[in-house]
A = this chain, B = another copy of it.
Amino acid sequence: MDYQILETKERVLADNERAAAQTREALQKSGALLVNLMGSPGAGKTTTLLQLIERLGKDFRIGVMEADVDSDVDSKTIAATGTRVIQLHTAGLCHMDADMTARGLEAMDTRGLDLIFLENIGNLVCPAEFEIGADLRLMLLSAPEGDDKPLKYPLMFQISDVLLLTKMDTAEVFGFDAEKAAARAKALNGSLRVIPVSAVTGEGYDEAAALLKEKLALRRTGA
Contacts and interface: CB of A to CB of B under 8 A. Distances in A.
Interface string A61-87: 000000011111111000100001111
B4 A42 contact: no
B41 A6 contact: no
Contacts of A88: 5-6, 8
A154 interface: yes
B125 A94 contact: yes
Given A86-B4, A87-B3, A144-B167, A154 B108 contact: no
A149 interface: yes
A103 interface: yes
A100 B173 contact: no
A145 B72 CA distance: 17
Interface residues of A, number: 63
Contacts of A108: 4
A191 interface: no
Given A2-B79, A173-B170, A124 B123 contact: yes
**How many copies are assembled?**
2
Contact of A89 (B6, B85, B122, B149): B6
Contacts of A40: 40-42, 122, 145
23 contacts: A2-B85, A3-B79, A3-B86, A5-B72, A6-B89, A8-B93, A8-B103, A9-B91, A12-B12, A12-B93, A40-B40, A40-B41, A40-B42, A42-B145, A42-B146, A42-B149, A69-B153, A70-B152, A70-B154, A71-B152, A73-B151, A94-B125, A122-B125
Given A6-B89, A40-B122, 18 more contacts: A2-B85, A5-B72, A5-B89, A7-B91, A8-B91, A8-B96, A9-B89, A12-B12, A42-B145, A42-B149, A69-B152, A69-B153, A69-B155, A70-B152, A74-B152, A123-B123, A142-B144, A144-B170
Interface of A: 1-10, 12-13, 40-42, 68-75, 79, 84-94, 96, 100, 103-104, 107-108, 121-126, 129, 142, 144-146, 148-149, 151-155, 167, 170, 173-174
